[in-house]
A and B are shown apart, each in its own frame.
Chain A
Amino acid sequence: MTRKQKRLSLIAAAGLILASSAGLILYALNDRIVFFYTPSDLTKQVIGPGTRVRIGGLVDVGSVDKSALPLIKFSITDGEGKLPVIYKGSLPDLFREGQGVVSEGVITPDHVLQADTVLAKHDENYMPKEVADALKEKGVWQGGAPK
């Protein structure tokens, strides 16, 4: 093999691998990401059935219903809008009424979030960042910078 062929084969291999991974990344960024909304965003925006979404806000006080355990029902609110959630799974330790929460799943035709993930915070001082931003925007929650 000549020097030129050696160099060409190296460049071809590098080009092929980089191009195909770039293609994969671009495709996945279009197709495999999940957008974040607050409950009142959903009244303005239509989300297609089967689309995964992340919803953030506060757990509505008085909405947590554990009568059908292990199925859990609660609502997420941002002061303006409210969205009911159905979830089967373990709640995080710091899941509380009136506290920040982020939940991921699919919205059903009757406007309920069928969630497979519920995230709260890791310690008592911290509010999920997306939730803190969204709520500050709406003026519902003022709290200082999450510590």
Chain B
Amino acid sequence: MIIELGHYALILAVMTTFVQCVFPLWGAIRQDPWLQSMARISAFVTFALVVLSYAALTYAYLSSDFSVANVVLNSHSTKPLIYKISGVWSNHEGSMMLWVLILVFFAALVAFRSDGMPERLLASVLSVQGAIAFAFLIFIVLTSNPFLRVGDPPADGQGLNPILADPGLAIHPPLLYLGYVGFSVAFSFAIGALIHGRIDAIWARFVRPWTLLAWIFLTLGISMGSYWAYYELGWGGWWFWDPVENASLMPWLMGTALLHSTIVMEKRDALKVWTILLSILTFSLSLLGTFLVRSGVITSVHSFASDPGRGLFILGILVVFIGGGLLLFALRASSLKQGGLFAPVSREGALVLNNLFLAASTVAVLVGTLYPLVLETFSGAKISVGAPYFNLTAVPLFIILLVLVPFGQSLAWKRGDLLGVMQRLLFAFGLSVLAALIIFAFTTGGPVMAPVGIGLGLWMILGSATDIFIRIWPRRFDISHIFARAWGLPRSAWGTALAHAGLGISVIGIAATAWGVEHISLTKAGEKIIVGPYTVALETSFKRSGQGFREEGARFLITRDDQSLGALETSKRVHAGREMPTTEAGIETFGFGQLYASLNEILPDGRVSVHLYWKPLVTLIWGGSLLMALGGALSLSDRRVRITAAERVSRATGKSRGAPA
């Protein structure tokens, strides 16, 4: 009964999103306040219906209702509670439900926080949100319905793919989707502005917090996905330039560009048309990511099903929204009032450079991701584009961008003083170069890129520190003065500094991977294997069974300078329900580095084949990205950026609700 109720709510939501799409838009065009006012109501009703529907599906998982096909295929009655909840989105149908749930959640949130927004803009924005939700709801109902029953319910389900049964992966999809889908708000605002025919700094004030919010979640989602791949797949790598990873990196790069261009627009009323274009492109890349991952065009751990009908349907959605958005942009962009020009040497000039580098690197990633698909379609040749391509194209662009970041951060708006900035940054620059040289000197024979990368990371960190230091250091030294000034500094300034420093920390972690050591060996008990600064020796191998799995594994003792430092355990697991083995890597963290063991095989004579890695500073990669997200959150908490801030501005400037176009 509850299942049917959920199914019914889902179909009803198709109707309400249709209303949300058509009537407010009609109202916005006809300037009819009554039709416009339907936007808010229908967004709330749609949200309530999708929540109901999603809750019903979750209930089916929690109660292990094996009359529902989706539950049979993806759940098992003995699964722990958390994996019953995350099981909902561990498959194609459920993950599309989550996608739509987040989409309508954002629409409802926009409607809820809409005080002070011109009613006509709100109506257009919610109408576009309604159109996207309508398309995806139709997609779910027609091709990916999670509520279908089976005629003959089995006694138990087939269980979750064991590599997906992991706490990291339980939260990775919701985070990633909050990011992907969050960019839909900027897209809807851009389309709204194009329909509206006007755009100003107030528009940027409304868009910036949503973009920032989406960016924070996408940063966390990508970082979590990377860490999951690192410890769960047992390959020891943290980024493979796999198409599905690129699919999430592209909207992140473009979204980062958008984040910076909205600042220029808000502060200087410039880069308007460019910001609109970036808003459209960022969400287009999110849609492209959804298509690549969900359509089965690319086979990976993410492609749950490759039903050609689904792929074509998503491709249709993609064409309509990306094509429609860009077409509208082409037709209407010229009617928008152009923003002002500015001096090249200024904060806004630097942010333009940031945007250019980010856009160019997005193109490089996009070409590398799509080229194999295009080539296969037209010539039949099968190729793979991997790390060598991306290291030559996107990475150099990243490096130049990183070198420039501290300069941009320290330049003043309007007219920057490049010489003064260079003087101020001299200390940070000198220290970073010195550090790189010292490291290079002490690691003779090692890879050159590691000290260079560490210098680069330090430069980002010290550059951010310099910026904060100069802003809070008073002319005459007085400790209470410093605290007062530090307290008085806007939180968005701290946020920027923290995010850039976090990026620097990630860069250091990435650079240090060049010093990593890996060692594959066939070893017997007691034999010593030297892995970086540590010595690892096989203690024993074991067989045991745990909740829902049995495993056979090996235990290694770690020592350094004859001091015992604990043990590493790595195993091969076979999970109940699916006879599919997984490798459980053994990981021990020392400082910021990690010792990583991945079991290959235990031979009948007791010898063990194992892949051992020492990864210095590797945890900084994810630690840095957490700091970046934290910096974003700090910026978001700035009262000037907060979602309601635009309301006060619009009141103060006399642009109240229903302002004429």
A residues contacting B by CB (< 8 A) are 1, 3, 6-7, 9-10, 13-14, 17-18, 21, 24-25, 27-29, 31-36, 54, 66, 69-70, 88-91, 93-94, 104, 122-124, 126, 128-130, 133-134, 145-147
Contacts A29-B389, A36-B382, A90-B598 known; A124 to B580 CB distance under 8 Å?
yes
B580 and A94 within 8 A (CB)? yes
Out of A24, A25, A93, A145, name the residue touching B583 (CB < 8 Å).
Answer: A93
Could you say which residues of chain B place their CB within 8 Å of the CB of A146? 299, 306
Out of B299, B341, B364, B598, name the residue touching A7 (CB < 8 Å).
Answer: B341
Q: How far, in whole Å, are A32 and B396 apart by their CA atoms in the complex?
A: 15
Chain B's closest residue to A121 (CB) is B299
Out of B352, B384, B581, B601, name the residue touching A33 (CB < 8 Å).
Answer: B384
Q: Mark B352-380, 1 if CB is under 8 A from A, else 0.
A: 11001100110110011001100000000
A21 and B341 within 8 A (CB)? no
The count of chain B contact residues (Cβ–Cβ below 8 Å) is 58
Report, nearest first, the 10 A-B pairs whose CB atoms are least far apart.
Answer: A36-B382, A21-B360, A32-B388, A32-B389, A70-B520, A9-B344, A129-B299, A28-B392, A122-B301, A69-B522
Contacts A17-B356, A35-B383, A70-B609 known; A93 to B299 CB distance under 8 Å?
no
Q: How far, in whole Å, are A32 and B384 apart by their CA atoms in the complex?
A: 9
Chain A's closest residue to B574 (CB) is A93
Known: A7-B341, A134-B382. 12 other contacts (CB 8 A): A1-B343, A29-B367, A33-B385, A36-B382, A66-B601, A69-B603, A90-B600, A93-B234, A93-B581, A123-B578, A124-B579, A145-B308
Contacts A90-B611, A93-B583, A128-B299 known; A25 to B364 CB distance under 8 Å?
yes
Q: How far, in whole Å, are A17 and B301 apart by their CA atoms in the complex?
A: 35
Q: List 17 A-B contacts (CB under 8 A).
A: A14-B356, A21-B360, A28-B368, A33-B389, A34-B383, A35-B382, A36-B382, A70-B522, A70-B600, A89-B520, A90-B235, A90-B600, A91-B600, A94-B581, A129-B299, A134-B382, A147-B306
A32 and B382 within 8 A (CB)? no
Could you say which residues of chain B place their CB within 8 Å of the CB of A147? 305-306
With contacts defined as CB atoms under 8 Å apart, how many contacts are there between chain A and chain B in the complex? 131
Q: How far, in whole Å, are A23 and B163 apart by their CA atoms in the complex?
A: 40
Q: How far, in whole Å, are A93 and B603 apart by their CA atoms in the complex?
A: 16
| Interface flag for B143 (CB, 8 Å) | no
Q: How far, in whole Å, are A35 and B371 apart by their CA atoms in the complex?
A: 12
Q: How far, in whole Å, are A21 and B359 apart by their CA atoms in the complex?
A: 10
Q: How far, in whole Å, are A54 and B522 apart by their CA atoms in the complex?
A: 27
| Interface flag for B114 (CB, 8 Å) | no
Could you say which residues of chain A place their CB within 8 Å of the CB of B598? 90
A21 and B235 within 8 A (CB)? no
Chain A's closest residue to B578 (CB) is A124
A21 and B299 within 8 A (CB)? no
| Interface flag for B63 (CB, 8 Å) | no
A24 and B611 within 8 A (CB)? no
Q: Which of B590-610 contact A (CB under 8 A)?
A: 598, 600-601, 603, 607, 609
Out of B303, B344, B572, name the residue touching A6 (CB < 8 Å).
Answer: B344
A13 and B600 within 8 A (CB)? no
Q: How far, in whole Å, are A28 and B578 apart by their CA atoms in the complex?
A: 42
Q: How far, in whole Å, are A29 and B363 apart by their CA atoms in the complex?
A: 13
A18 and B611 within 8 A (CB)? no
Could you say which residues of chain A place their CB within 8 Å of the CB of B343? 1, 6
Q: What is the distance, in angstroms, from B484's C-beta to the closest C-beta of chain A?
A: 38
A34 and B367 within 8 A (CB)? no
